[in-house]
Chains A and B, each alone.
Chain A
Amino acid sequence: MNTDSHAFIFLSACVVNNFVLASFLGICPFLGVSKKVDTALRMGIAVLLVMLVSSAAAFGINLVLQSFDAEYLQLVSYIAVIASTVQLVEMIIKKFSPSLFRALGIFLPLITTNCAILGVALFQTSREYSFSQSLVFALGAGAGFTLALWLMSGLREESEFADPPKLIKGTALSLMIAGILSMAFMGFAGLGA
């Protein structure tokens, strides 16, 4: 059992060990869908949703696997759970917001291979979080992911007006912004410890 308080788990997953800016997980959608603030926010919420559902499912599956002494199946079964959760979210979004579905494009099915989500499932297992701790952890991770996307999209929208040298225009510039943002997040190191 893990004795960390819920507030600490949330803060740690959201800010101190932010999945994108401190652990460098989920960089693909972070760079892919951070061009516009609106899309970025919705992507963040979609990821948050998938994280919550797959975290709850992973907790149950882990219990079942442990009772069979079959923990070696964790990775495979987590991936299967995440893939089906993403399918679910994809169907919901397609039904209720076709425009968002088009805006997210390939990055929506790609949530399946988003290492941040697999990270949530694996971290919560290895840290032996209880069910409620797991959910708070997933919530914090998703909120942190959304926060990173929100900050990044604002900076990128502003850099649209900039006049960077040809060499660095586009992805290279985004990576540089992400790097500086990550350096700024180093200030949270050790917070609450």
Chain B
Amino acid sequence: MSNFFATTLSTSPHVKDQRSVPYIMRHVVYATLPLVGFAFWNFGWSALLVVATTSFFCVLSEGIFNLLTGRASSVGDYSALITGILLGLTLPPAFPLWMAAVGSIFAIIIGKAIFGGLGHNPFNPALVGRAFLQAAFPAAITTWSIPQAPQRFASLLPSTLAFPFSTPNLDGSAGATPLALQKFSQTASPWQDLFVGTSAGSLGETSALLILLCGLYLALRKFLDWRIPLGILATVAIFSGILHLVNPNFASPLAAIFSGGLMLGAFFMATDMVSSPVLPRATWIYAVFIGILVVVIRIWGGLPEGVMYAILLGNAISPQLNRLIKSTPYGHGNKAGHGNKAGQGSKA
């Protein structure tokens, strides 16, 4: 009986679960580990060093920022680690480590910490870091190494260890990503290769199959909102399917959803709980908006890939979606007559 009296009574919402932020974040980290492993197998030591660097500097900047501003340490909630791993997975294998470090610091400080830390960042921090790197080092971030290179476990790529603040010696024999091939020379890659993932590209984006499995795990355990990846992928498939029928030079729907950073973005970036909308209806609009922008930028834009920008723009409209689409409180249904009264009541 003593237990009964110890119970605190409170108003809703009631927490029914033992899940906490560190618990959820830890499982997202587990879900990204297979992708890191695949990147290591596909691109070798350079890939692993890039992810290690981004993770280390993200956690470090979070810790230092907390110290400087006298806040409680938030290093233990794994969110900075996720930002680091995700940022690393979006970078090319031969990316110079010093640039990766600069991007990580930018992602955590400008992308998250200055807004007051986790829960307040309007944009996905990893993508803010990557957009910064894309603007600052456009050559380094679009130099793709050949996957499955024979010496990948014996030596590092030449640009990996570029001296800080020096121009890296970018590999001239670099491969092109399937999207760039499609866009600039109308060469389609077989979707089976894209699905398995032994193609050129950013570290973690190549294997659609693996991302799908990890994403499904997160969706089944309800760590991410399944509507977002489903909405984005369906929109891209339908939209690019129509365009492919009109002009076969454009990517086929399967190639479109399995190539580039779309899978990684749809499952791991767009689903960021902080920067995506709250209600299901708003979430669908958000996902369709991102999907349309991805296809528009890929087909008519100057860049071969637009997933990063599409998600950042999706994040930018999500406060407006949250504002415009609200749930109706219980008892204030949209029945004729009642809805009007409720509206007046809330305004008064």
Name A's B-contacting residues (CB within 8 A).
37, 150-151, 154-155, 157-159, 161-165, 167-168, 173, 176-177, 179-181, 183-193
Known contacts A186-B131, A186-B135; is-contact A151 B116 (Cβ 8 Å): no
Starting from the known contacts A155-B319, A165-B116, A187-B301, 10 additional A-B residue pairs (CB-CB under 8 Å) come to A150-B320, A154-B316, A157-B319, A164-B120, A167-B69, A180-B312, A181-B316, A187-B297, A191-B297, A193-B302
**What 8 A-B pairs are tightest by C-beta distance, nearest first?**
A190-B302, A187-B309, A163-B116, A184-B312, A162-B120, A154-B319, A154-B320, A158-B319
Residue of B nearest to A188 (CB): B301
Do B122 and A164 touch across chains, with their CB atoms under 8 A apart?
Answer: no
Q: In the complex, which of the residues B111, B320, B322 has the most CB atoms of chain A within 10 Å of its own CB atom?
A: B320
User: From A181, which residue of chain B is reached at the shortest CB distance?
Assistant: B316
Rounded to whole angstroms, the CA-CA distance of A44 and B217 in the bound complex is 45
Q: Which among A157, A159, A184, A193 has the highest number of chain B CB atoms within 10 Å? A: A184
B302: nearest chain-A partner, CB-CB: A190
CB-CB under 8 A from B323, the residues of chain A are: 37, 154, 157
Q: Are A163 and B120 in contact (CB under 8 A)?
A: yes
Determine whether B300 belongs to the interface, using a CB cutoff of 8 Å to chain A.
Answer: yes
**Chain A residue, CB-CB nearest to B121:** A162
Q: What sequence of 0s and 1s flags, for each residue 69-82 of chain B, a beta carbon within 8 Å of any chain A beta carbon?
A: 10000000000000
Chain A residues in 8 Å Cβ range of B122: 155, 158-159, 177, 180
B139 within 8 A of A: no
Contacts of A173 in B (CB 8 A): 114-115
| Partner among A158, A184, A191 whose Cβ is within 8 Å of the Cβ of B300 | A191
Interface residue B161 (Cβ < 8 Å from any Cβ of A): no
Q: Is B317 an interface residue (CB 8 A)?
A: yes
Closest Cβ neighbor of A162 among chain B residues: B120
Q: Inside 8 A of B110's CB, which chain A residues have their CB?
A: 176, 179-180
Q: Interface residues of A: mostly helix, strand, loop or mixed?
A: helix
Q: How far is the CA of A151 from the CA of B289 in the complex (A)?
A: 14
Q: In this assembly, does B308 line the interface, its C-beta being within 8 Å of a C-beta of chain A?
A: yes
Chain B neighbourhood of A154, CB < 8 A: 316-317, 319-320, 323
Chain B residues whose C-beta falls within 8 Å of the C-beta of A159 in the assembled complex: 115, 120, 122
A154 to B301, CA, bound (A): 26
Contact with A along B290-325 (1 / 0, CB 8 A): 000100110011110010111011011101101100
Interface centre among A173, A179, A185, A187 (most CB of B within 10 A): A187
Q: Given A164-B114, A165-B116 in contact, is the A187-B310 Cβ separation under 8 Å?
A: yes
In the assembled complex, the CB of B275 is this many whole angstroms from the nearest CB of chain A, namely: 10
Query: In the bound complex, how far is the Cα of B302 from the Cα of A188, in angstroms?
Result: 8
Contact B69 A161 (CB under 8 A): no
Q: Which residues of A contact B312 (CB under 8 A)?
A: 180, 183-184, 187
Minimum distance in angstroms from B60 CB to a CB of chain A: 18
Say whether B132 contacts A183, CB under 8 Å. Answer: yes
Per a CB cutoff under 8 Å, which of B117, B120, B316 touches A184? B316
Whether B296 and A191, one on each chain, are in contact in the complex, defined by CB atoms closer than 8 angstroms, is: yes
Say how far B71's CB is from chain A's closest CB, in angstroms: 8
| Cα–Cα distance between A37 and B321 once the two chains are bound (Å) | 12
**B116 adjacent to A191 (CB under 8 Å):** no
Among residues of B, the one whose C-beta sits closest to the C-beta of A192 is B300
Decide yes or no: A168 and B114 within 8 Å by CB, A154-B320, A187-B310 being known contacts.
yes
A147 to B122, CA, bound (A): 17
Q: Are A183 and B135 in contact (CB under 8 A)?
A: yes
Contact A191-B302, Cβ < 8 Å, known A157-B319, A158-B319: yes
**Residue of A whose beta carbon sits closest to that of B297:** A187
For residue B267, which residues in chain A have a CB less than 8 angstroms away from its CB?
none
21 A-B pairs with C-beta separation under 8 A: A37-B320, A155-B319, A157-B319, A157-B323, A162-B116, A163-B116, A164-B115, A165-B69, A168-B114, A183-B135, A184-B312, A184-B315, A184-B316, A186-B131, A186-B134, A187-B297, A187-B309, A188-B309, A189-B303, A190-B301, A191-B296
Contact of B114 among A161, A176, A185, A191 (CB under 8 A): A176
Q: Does B87 contact A (CB under 8 A)?
A: no
Question: CA separation between A123 and B77, bound complex, in Å?
Answer: 51
